């Protein structure tokens, strides 16, 4: 048997020939060994990256969760922190706008109605009652990650023109 390093007999791993690669390095070297394999590898990488980039946001695009924002007061009055809880079950959007209190006035938790969610667009109504007065507040926006950006439309005071304000809700706890 021929002598290896330090006079020891050579074993399989001590052969003087080209060194074998293993694992990922070996697969890459094998893939690059022919032009056709190289072309397939170069085409497959961008396609895989595109599929992951397109499918990841779609999987995360759900309005379900708790949303918070500051609702501006009428006529420059102080804003009110609002919390909305949404759920999406079998394609149907549901939820409730949590109540709040301002002085003697108490607004109870109110379910949303006429709710829809499609292609990132979200819309729903909240029907409120104050004494004998009932009115509908309309919410519409676009979901982008952990943000809903859109508008809130409230009925005008004493039957006047509706008031529209910007709506920027953030997903929160």
In the chain, where the domains are located = 17-59, 65-172
How far apart, in whole angstroms, are the C-alpha atoms of residue 50 and residue 47?
5
20 burial level (CB within 10 Å; 0-12, 13-18, 19+): exposed
pLDDT of residue 43: 57
User: Which SS3 state, helix, strand or coil, does residue 88 take?
Assistant: strand
Cβ atoms of residues 77 and 70 within 8 Å = no
Give the tokens for residue 134: 């009932």
- Average pLDDT (38-56) is 53
Q: Which residues pair with 47 in a beta bridge?
A: none
Give the tokens for residue 156: 């005008």
pLDDT of residue 55: 43
pTM here is 0.64
Give the tokens for residue 122: 């979200």
Q: Which helix (H) or strand (E) holds 114?
A: strand 110-118
The hierarchical CATH code for the domain 65-172 is 2.40.128
């Amino acid at each position: 048997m021929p002598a290896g390093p330090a006079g020891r007999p050579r074993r399989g791993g001590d052969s003087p020939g080209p060194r074998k690669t293993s694992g990922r390095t070996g697969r890459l070297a094998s893939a690059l060994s022919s032009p056709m394999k190289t072309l397939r590898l170069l085409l497959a990488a961008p396609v895989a990256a595109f599929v992951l980039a397109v499918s990841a946001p779609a999987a995360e695009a759900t309005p379900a969760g708790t949303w918070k924002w500051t609702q501006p007061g009428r006529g420059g009055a102080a804003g009110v922190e609002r919390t909305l809880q949404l759920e999406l079950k079998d394609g149907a959007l549901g939820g409730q706008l949590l109540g709040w209190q301002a002085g003697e006035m108490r607004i109870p938790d109110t379910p949303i109605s006429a709710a829809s969610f499609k292609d990132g667009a979200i819309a729903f109504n909240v029907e409120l009652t104050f004494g004998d007065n009932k009115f509908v507040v309309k919410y519409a926006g676009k979901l982008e990650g952990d943000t809903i950006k859109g508008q809130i439309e409230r009925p005008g005071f004493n039957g006047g023109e509706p008031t529209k304000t910007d709506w920027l809700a953030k997903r929160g706890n």
